[in-house]
Amino acid sequence: MDDAPVGLSKRRVYRVAELTRRIKSLLESDIGAVWVEGEVSNARIYPSGHLYFTLKDETAQISAVLFRGAAASCKIPVKDGAKLRVWGEISVYEQRGQYQLIVRRVEDAGQGDLQKAFEALKAKLTAEGLFDPARKRPLPMLPRTIGIVTSPAGAVIRDILNVLGRRFPDRHILLAPVRVQGAGAAEEIAAAIDLLNARGDVDVIIVARGGGSLEDLWAFNEEIVARAIARSSIPVISAVGHDTDFTISDFVADVRAPTPSAAAELVVRPKKDFEELIAVYRRRLAHALRGQALLLRNRYLRAARSYVFREPAHLLARHRERVARARENARRALESAVIQRRQRADEAGIRLAHGVQLRSQRARHRLDAARQSLRNLNPRAVLNRGYSVTFSVDGRALTDAAEVPAGARIRTLLAKGELLSETLSQPGGSP
């Protein structure tokens, strides 16, 4: 105490509550109500209806609260990534010694930089079809090996292992340890997803981390992580943040889980459920087998009591009679067919002979008529009736006496022989 600073003996010692109250008084009196502009982060609505959030810029942040009455009348959505201009009073939350902005009025100041980047990447990947439900794959019913991409420290991995161990304790778990926020986290997450795919023995992958602000979850909004999930040949469950948090990885993954624990519940059903299902199937199978056995037994008893098996000789005799009748009917049908064919052949022969005879007679009549026509047209037949034909020296048949000059030599054809003569004069002329 002898080395204590001067005036230390006159020091005043504040209780924590007194100092906090004085700080609160100074802040409220010196600053009072102000307008503040910033980007919203870590927005949460509590069961009380109060809305707590953080306003931030590139270098600083301040806690803010919108109490239930003001929150109910607020028309501007207060959500992560929104850029707001708010009016309120600076105050101190004494229980925590934390200063905060009590918001009374909210105005829209545009969209925050991170939210703009989020929306731009979401639109780009939507256009490429990475969010298309048609490319989503179902989860395996009972995976043997489950890959987990998350931080090895923290509550997330413990929660997942606790749920899996309680539901189905003999599953094989592979942890791919990564950083889940900060510089280089996105690259580690993407590399871990590719590594689990390269193994060839992983049935499903859980990509997980706990809740946080938009900045805390930003690694799961990076394009490199989205494309690693999209090219994964193994179904992927995205379990990032809380139920109200949405990241790009949620949209690309085959299944989105609201929390990491919910992802563990989705990936495998309780072992008891499978045991109960197997028991149901066993009962159904036994019932079906008993029913089939009873059916076959009844059929056997009916057959054993039937007349067929009691008097097989009568059945054989009836079959023999049917076979004999069928054979006789076939023989008669064959004979009838042969007779009909013969009759048709005879009729065809008669029709053919009659047709040939008729055609022969018609041909003979045409030939006789042609012969008679030739005889009638033969010039010698005309000559036999006393006619003759006179030809000039050059062999032309003469039809006009004026064509023959006096002294011309002519040849006259008779029925028998011919005459050569010379004309003395032309018709009407002198010799």
Assign 145 a pLDDT band (cuts: 50, 70, 90).
very high
**Strand segments (E) across 61-203:** 61-66, 82-93, 98-111, 145-150, 172-177
Domain for residue 251, yes or no?
yes
Query: Do 79 and 212 share a domain, yes or no?
Result: no
Domain-ending residue, one of 220, 246, 268: 268
The angle that helices 260-267 and 155-167 make with each other, rounded to 10 degrees, is: 30
Q: Does residue 258 share a domain with residue 153?
A: yes
Parent domain of 62: 8-111
- The answer as to whether 343 is a domain residue is no
Residue 207 scores a pLDDT above 90: yes
Contact 32, 90 (CB under 8 A): yes
Q: Is residue 3 part of a domain?
A: no
| Order of strands across the sheet that contains 418-422 | 389-391, 409-413, 418-422
Q: What CATH number has the domain bearing residue 218?
A: 3.40.50.10550
Q: In this structure, is residue 415 part of a structural domain?
A: yes
Q: Is 138 domain-assigned? A: no
Residues 121, 263: one domain? Answer: yes
Please report the pLDDT score of residue 3 as a whole number: 54
Same structural domain for residues 251 and 293?
no
Q: Which of 171-175, 273-277, 417-421 has the lowest mean pLDDT?
A: 273-277
Shared domain for 194 and 261, answered yes or no, is yes
Q: What is the Cα–Cα distance from 381 to 358, expressed in whole angstroms?
A: 33
43's tokens: 């927005």
Q: Is the pLDDT of residue 132 over 80?
A: yes
Q: What is the pLDDT of residues 92-117, one digit of tens each?
A: 888 888 888 999 988 877 666 777 78
Tokens for 257, please give them.
Answer: 């889980």
Domain shared by 175 and 241, yes or no: yes
Distance of alpha carbon 52 from alpha carbon 64, whole angstroms: 6
Tell me what the pLDDT averaged over the chain comes to. 84
Q: Mean pLDDT throughout 340-365?
A: 86
User: pLDDT value at position 33?
Assistant: 85
| Per-residue pLDDT at 214 exceeds 80 | no
Whether residues 151 and 250 fall in one domain: yes
Together in a domain, 391 and 425: yes
pLDDT in tens, 166-189: 887 888 999 999 999 888 999 999
- Are 221 and 122 contacting, i.e. CB atoms less than 8 angstroms apart? no
pLDDT of residue 308: 62
Q: What is the pTM of this model?
A: 0.50
In this structure, which amino acid lies at residue 396?
A: R
Give the pLDDT confidence score for residue 310 in this predicted structure: 63
The answer to whether position 364 is within a domain reads no
Are both 201 and 275 inside the same structural domain?
no
Among 306, 328, 356, which residue terminates a domain?
306
Indicate if 125 and 160 belong to the same structural domain.
yes
Domain boundary among 268, 296, 326: 268
**Distance separating the N- and C-terminal Cα atoms of the chain:** 203
**Torsions phi, psi for 331 (to 5 deg):** -65, -45
Average pLDDT over residues 290-299: 86
User: Based on the domain organization, do 294 and 162 belong to the same domain?
Assistant: no
In a domain, 428, yes or no: yes
At 1, the pLDDT band (50, 70, 90 cuts) reads very low
| Same-domain pairing of 126 and 195 | yes
Q: Do 223 and 194 touch, CB atoms closer than 8 A? A: no
CATH number, position 16: 2.40.50.140
User: How many domains does the structure of the chain reveal?
Assistant: 4
Q: Are 238 and 256 in contact (CB under 8 A)?
A: yes
| More reliable by pLDDT, 177 or 391 | 177
Q: Is residue 239 part of a domain?
A: yes
Q: Which residue has the higher pLDDT, 81 or 200?
A: 200
